[in-house]
Structure 1
Amino acid sequence: MAEDGGVQMRFGDMGLDERILKAIAELGWKDPTLIQERAIPLALDGKDIVARARTGSGKTAAFLIPIIQKILTQKSGVSQQACTRALVIVPSKELSKQAYKNLLELTVACSEEVRCVDLGNQADLAAQRPLLKEKPDVVIGTPGKIFAHLQAKNLVVKDSMEMLVLDEADLLYSFGYERDIQNIKQYLPDACQVLLTSATLSEEIISLKRLFLHNPVTLRLEESQLPEADQLTQYHIQCDETERFLLIYAMLKLQLIQGKSIIFVNSVDRCYKLKLYLEQFAIRSCLLNSELPVNSRCHIVQQFNDGVYDILIASDENQLKGKALAQKGMKVSKKKGDREYGVSRGIDFQNVSNVINFDFPLTVDAYIHRVGRTARAGKQGTALSFVLPTELPLLNEIERILSSALDDGGGVPTNSNTPSSSTAPTTTSIFRPYQFRMDQIEGFRYRAQDAMRAVTKVAVRESRINEIRQEMLNSQKLKTYFTDNPRDLQVLRHDKTLHTVRVQPHLKHVPDYLIPPVLRPVVKSRSEGPRIHKGSRKNQPSRGALRQKKLKADPLRSFEFEGLAELTKKKKRTK
């Protein structure tokens, strides 16, 4: 049933082409999400739309499906001249690749009729020019790249374009694209259908609305920007800086964190510092930050989604962060990075069980977008935040906003009975205190301190240099140069070994005497795992299935709760 009490519309009721319905069925989508149910019929009717919907709500498909449907309708039975009919503008290269992938999935049964080009793949305009000369039906890219091609006349849409999509529109200005967006306008037709999607309805969205849209329909969906409490559990731990490192080490080694996890930090340096720290305990992880080339970032996301790594450490430096630092009077870093980078918004991380705010986000929006990486597509998820004493006011502010009623600025609703702002509302507790007994892990502290001493500024700097060297060796653009200059390649490969942290083998294992007594049976059972004999693998569940089973049973547990449960059982037995 629909939220308003009516019968929910299905994909088959929207008048979509059979080829689109076939692709939807192969993707396993049973019913449209709220944004898809409301936006697709309006888009098919030619309406301009402004839609506010949270990350992971399915808004990418909500605008791609109408585009595909209209292209198929126009091409049916008529020999049409090739031209670009739709332009999709996104704020980051990762989002560009993701939207392109989604379009390929939705056109699997009509790939010859609907052709698309992703301008986020290659950085060289000359390499992309031949692709655009073939006049693909749909072009996807960032404002900077699209404007460059329009200016160079590689892309001409003045007389052919019928649909324009501005995806994650609130980030287009935040990422410094305001000038590019304004310049793109002059190359577009005077009248075309515009679909604008955003997680918030801010002043920047109003500016874009005035610039591009004509009498649009505004969809403010009555849904939370985060999943409901029965799907997403949010914890917080109050700690100091040194305890953060102690906690993450102990929780990972005691296997209190189960499943794929994204650990968010606030800077690139923190990325490398945390990775080097965890490496000393043989805890594998991958990094994602704005200094890595786009191809590497996309490859890392793919490896994480494929289960090659279960832990991803991501830095969340972006324009929103810059604004937050400026508001606090702090210095904004001007280190070189890719402005077309965004990790907490839009990227399709799959099957993420936990989001861990190792560094607490600097803004309310940043918290919402980070936590939105988990508990997607109806699956359970957990968010855990390490909070310094100075960050408690921001934690309280986030809790107040998450508990407040939906307002005109795109706040997060709880339900329609939420009191108005004129009265003092009684807010529901959003964050559960994670009852972690620090006295039970004192034996871990000396190991954590020893590992922290090894992670010096020099080690972090040399790790970043090593990363750059590896990217140079793997660069497709430099292959020709190294072929012509083999001596330079040898010098690069035989450079001195960088002095990073020293991995001590004994830190890999946690001796029994360090494990809190209440957790010893749990840790032992998990570490042993199911024994699979070589001759019986065919009849055994896959590792992924076993992992999913564990996640449902225990996504994240505070061992104090388990300890209380054990004590209660013992008391009952004695009675």
Structure 2
Amino acid sequence: MDTDALADEEKTVQFHEMGLDDRILEAIAKQGWKEPTLIQEKAIPFVLEGKDVLARAKTGSGKTGAFVIPAIHKILEGKRTAVEQSVQVLILAPSRELCKQIKEHIAKLTMWCKREVRYIDVAPIAPIEAQRPLLVDKPDIVVGTPTRVLKHITAGNLTIKDSLKMLVIDEADLMFTFEYLGDIEAVFKHLPKIYQSFVTSATMSGNVKEYKKLALTKPVVLKLEEPPMPTATQLTHYVIKHETLDKAVMLFVLFRLNLIRGKTIVFVNTVDTGYKLRMFLSQFGIKACVLNSEMPVASRCHIVEQFNGGQYDIILASDELTLDDPSTRKNQPKKGKRKKDKESGVSRGIDFQFVSNVINFDFPRNTDSYIHRAGRTARGTNLGTVLSMVAVHEMVIYAQVEEKLKTLMPEMEGSVFKDFKFDMSQLEGFKYRAKDAWNRCTSIAILETRKKELKRELLQSEKLQTFFKDHPKDLQALRHDNPKHNLTPLKHLRDVPEYIMPQKLQRFSRFYKNKKDNQGTPKDRGTKAQKKYQKRKADPLKSMEFSGFKKKKT
């Protein structure tokens, strides 16, 4: 009896056992979701019962489906007795990229009921007047950032005072910071007195506990027993510590000698560093695309889509302070008046797929940022690695991160970080060409590159939108890893001479193997050289040999 009861408790409740609409079940089957994730299994029944839910869940746990699926089901049920069309669900998210992902989830789950369930994402940058006609039809689901939604409410484009039935706040630990708190409180003033809420958060921080009273009434709190980070068998943490470590040289060696395989995200702390790394790597024929908050939202989303589709292997992501801990941002000096998009996030929210490696070129500024960066890899059942390059001035925060990881991974014995075993003396042969390439990336060159990049991305994202809608294949062929800078390409830097190639790495380097195979065997090379010499000798202009005119035979 006890054994059977325990087996029933451990058995996962399937989607078809939740009483969902058949059209939703068909869409779920089309996506290949065999069974619900932990948060979907626990949260969907509570939402269907009409209860408020506060769930702690990390990115990649299936939390978007946990609130989208029951929301669609409730809309379909209400359509049977509805008299008029109205906005029933409002979904708030901190970044435009995350809003776009939520919209894509809704599109996939409503593929069999598009006529009944209408939705719109108001987060993209566009004039308020241009989006007014889309809201006149009163879509069932509205997705957007708090700032954008508030603008539409103030302009009279969006009315939810009497019709809203469900409010969703995603990534609440970010939303309840001073960046968004004012806008969220203003939005709450336009909500009805009675509505259902679903709030998700990666952490149960003090802000979430303090402000959950604004949106929740006697909520069901789901603190799912999911580790905030994958186990040591799934995710490996490497570190490179060296007093005289040149990070640029090390990154060049890792990519040029193919020591890192698979899709990789390289995190930096500033936009300038991202562009400088791209200019630096492009001189060696290593293609990469940048991703930062200054780029248009359409370009950012397109880069993520192509990266997930396998068109790019390397992304240089700027993990800035726009979505990090506000306390760390106050102490940072203000540099210039660059226009950045505060509704952009790279280290959190964006669903990067099948990422094999995360490289911290600049070590994160706090422990939470490290955890969110590491969460970009080792998703689901996939394996992943995190490689951090730690300079001397970053050792303090490195020690704090290590202490935090020990508490999150108690099964680890000893240090969580493994030393990346590499003979640093082997870098000497690469330094002279890497240093020259790095010094060519001056601040003026970076500024000019940024101007050209932004102009190109703005042209691609705004003026060509209508063209790409009519020609989707051309949009797929559009690439973001072609650098636009004024540096004269040095073709000799693309080759790695044999005399600087470490002998132990020659048999592992794909580049060296291809070069060796193209040269042929020693016997073949000798035969080719002999024939070439004989041909040159027969031609006096090429062999530089001239013995005079031959005498005519009498």
Contact in 2 for aligned 1:222/1:413 (Cα 8 Å): no
> Hey, what's the Cα distance between the residues in 2 that align with 1:472 and 1:319?
21
Query: Paired residue for 1:157?
Result: 160
Is 1:37 aligned with 2:41? yes
Query: Paired residue for 2:57?
Result: 53
Query: Paired residue for 1:492?
Result: none
Runs of at least 5 residues in structure 1 that lack an aligned partner in the other structure: 405-411, 416-425, 481-496, 532-575
> Hey, what's the Cα distance between the residues in 2 that align with 1:438 and 1:168?
42
Deviation readout 1:270-324 (Å, 9 max, x if unpaired): 1111111101111000011111111111111122122221100010113354735
Deviation readout 1:119-175 (Å, 9 max, x if unpaired): 123421111111111111100000001001111111111111110000011111337
Residue number among 410, 429, 442 corresponding to 1:443 in the alignment? 429
> Hey, what's the Cα distance between the residues in 2 that align with 1:3 and 1:237?
46
Query: Paired residue for 1:403?
Result: 406
Contact in 2 for aligned 1:325/1:332 (Cα 8 Å): no
Deviation readout 1:381-435 (Å, 9 max, x if unpaired): 111111112322322222222222xxxxxxx4657xxxxxxxxxx9653221111
> Hey, what's the Cα distance between the residues in 2 that align with 1:314 and 1:305?
15
> Hey, what's the Cα distance between the residues in 2 that align with 1:3 and 1:60?
28
Is 1:372 aligned with 2:375? yes
Query: Paired residue for 1:331?
Result: 333
Query: Paired residue for 2:140?
Result: 137
User: Could you tell me how far 1:510 is from its partner in structure 2?
Assistant: 1.4
Contact in 2 for aligned 1:85/1:163 (Cα 8 Å): yes
Aligned residues between the structures:
495
Is 1:476 aligned with 2:478? no
Residue number among 474, 482, 495 corresponding to 1:509 in the alignment? 495
SS at match of 1:271: helix
Deviation readout 1:460-515 (Å, 9 max, x if unpaired): 111111113323543636999xxxxxxxxxxxxxxxx9963232101112123322
> Hey, what's the Cα distance between the residues in 2 that align with 1:43 and 1:382?
36
The CA RMSD measured in Å over matched residues stands at 2.6
Is 1:289 aligned with 2:275? no
**Which shifted more, 120-129 or 139-148?**
120-129
Query: Paired residue for 1:467?
Result: 453
Matching residue's letter, 1:445: K
Residue number among 20, 32, 36 corresponding to 2:24 in the alignment? 20
Structure 1 160/498 Cα, relative in aligned 2: closer, same or farther at 3 Å?
A: closer
Structure 1 360/512 Cα, relative in aligned 2: closer, same or farther at 3 Å?
A: same
Matching residue's letter, 2:114: S
> Hey, what's the Cα distance between the residues in 1 that align with 2:107 and 2:465?
30
Structure 1 478/175 Cα, relative in aligned 2: closer, same or farther at 3 Å?
A: farther
Contact in 2 for aligned 1:460/1:500 (Cα 8 Å): no
Query: Paired residue for 1:312?
Result: 315
Structure 1 130/391 Cα, relative in aligned 2: closer, same or farther at 3 Å?
A: same
Matching residue's letter, 1:107: T
Contact in 1 for aligned 2:176/2:211 (Cα 8 Å): no
Deviation readout 1:515-551 (Å, 9 max, x if unpaired): 221221121489649x9xxxxxxxxxxxxxxxxxxxx
User: Could you tell me how far 1:15 is from its partner in structure 2?
Assistant: 1.5
User: Could you tell me how far 1:35 is from its partner in structure 2?
Assistant: 1.2
Matching residue's letter, 2:495: H
Residue number among 262, 268, 284 corresponding to 2:271 in the alignment? 268
Is 1:215 aligned with 2:218? yes
> Hey, what's the Cα distance between the residues in 1 that align with 2:463 and 2:429?
50
Query: Paired residue for 1:394?
Result: 397
Structure showing greater radius of gyration is: 2
> Hey, what's the Cα distance between the residues in 1 that align with 2:328 and 2:370?
15
SS at match of 1:8: coil
> Hey, what's the Cα distance between the residues in 2 that align with 1:427 and 1:4?
35
Query: Paired residue for 2:107?
Result: 104
SS at match of 2:10: coil
Query: Paired residue for 1:200?
Result: 203
Contact in 1 for aligned 2:128/2:152 (Cα 8 Å): yes
Deviation readout 1:212-235 (Å, 9 max, x if unpaired): 111111111111111122211111
SS at match of 2:47: helix
TM-score of the superposed pair, with normalisation by structure 2:
0.84
Structure 1 454/104 Cα, relative in aligned 2: closer, same or farther at 3 Å?
A: same
> Between the two proteins, what is the percent identity of the paired residues?
47
Matching residue's letter, 1:46: G
SS at match of 1:476: helix
Residue number among 111, 115, 127 corresponding to 1:124 in the alignment? 127
